[in-house]
Amino acid sequence: MQHLRFLLYCTLNLVSHQASHKILASKVNCCAGVYSALNCQGYLDDKQIQTYASDGSPLMAHISHKVNHVEFSTGSLGHGLPFAVGKAILRKRRAIDGKVYRLLSDGELDEGSNWESFMFAGYHKLDNLTAIVDYNKLQSLSSTYNTLDLEPLEDKLTAFNWHVIRCNGHSIADLRATFAADSNSKPKLILCDTTKGHPITFMANKVDWHYKPPSKSQLEQIFAELHSFYK
């Protein structure tokens, strides 16, 4: 749910008002959020969205450039940031208005290609690039702490010459402020502290829900908790 809120925020508030911005999602499993945001904006109609992941649908269960207004397919991790860096340096050199935004997962940061890109973007002072890390501290099999432990993540990224801002990833107000903040002529990295599964009580902070679909009764509980949370 947090992914959906965040991507809705980005898509509705940035793309719709400033077409020169580029928003790209490397956090591949958030495609349902991306497609939903496109649906809310009218880029995907209600009939198309219902075909999600079904036979012959363009809406594959990872982000697909076969879908209108999606520029870059992802699925394998560590590909998104280098692509965004390429767009950012070209647009900076050509003095093209607008920023490039790239959503990353925390588990994805295990991939060395991201660190090649962090080094490159910091060196080239790509201040038109913003990377957002969904730092929910869970990856595919376990926590980030029990896998490679990304910490001290802020210090590492700061050492790579990025302007790092940490915020509550569940707070639209926090996100709004960090998006608006100056990056001191550096690429900006927004480190969003989040909880996977938030705000559903039985899903929060559990690896299982990376894989499992909810049962019908669980789905009813999810809707009830969502209505309660966002009322």
Contacts with another protein by CB under 8 A lie at: 65, 71-73, 75-76, 78-79, 81-91, 93-94, 96, 112-113, 116-117, 119-120
Nearer residue to another protein within complex by CB, 67 or 200: 67
How many CB atoms are closer than 10 A to CB 8? 17
User: Residue 42: what residue type?
Assistant: G
CB of 61 to another protein, least distance (A): 16
Nearer residue to another protein within complex by CB, 80 or 197: 80
- The radius of gyration computed from the CA coordinates of the chain, to the nearest angstrom, equals 17
CB of 112 to another protein, least distance (A): 7
CB of 53 to another protein, least distance (A): 19
Nearer residue to another protein within complex by CB, 2 or 128: 128
Check: CB of residue 129 under 8 Å from CB of residue 102: yes
Q: Which residues pair with 25 in a beta bridge?
A: 103
Beta-carbon contacts of 3 under 8 Å, excluding residues fewer than 6 positions away, are 27, 30, 32, 33, 134
Nearer residue to another protein within complex by CB, 65 or 212: 65
CB of 41 to another protein, least distance (A): 21
Nearer residue to another protein within complex by CB, 85 or 109: 85
Dihedral of CA 198/105/11/31: which sign? negative
Sheet holding 163-168, edge to edge: 22-25, 100-105, 129-135, 188-193, 163-168
Nearer residue to another protein within complex by CB, 2 or 117: 117
Nearer residue to another protein within complex by CB, 84 or 133: 84
Beta-carbon contacts of 215 under 8 Å, excluding residues fewer than 6 positions away, are none
CB of 186 to another protein, least distance (A): 18
User: Residue 124: what residue type?
Assistant: H
Residue 199: asked if its preceding bond is cis (omega within 30°), the reply is: yes
DSSP state letters, 56-89 = T-S--SS--TTSTT------STT-HHHHHHHHHH
CB of 130 to another protein, least distance (A): 15
CB of 227 to another protein, least distance (A): 39
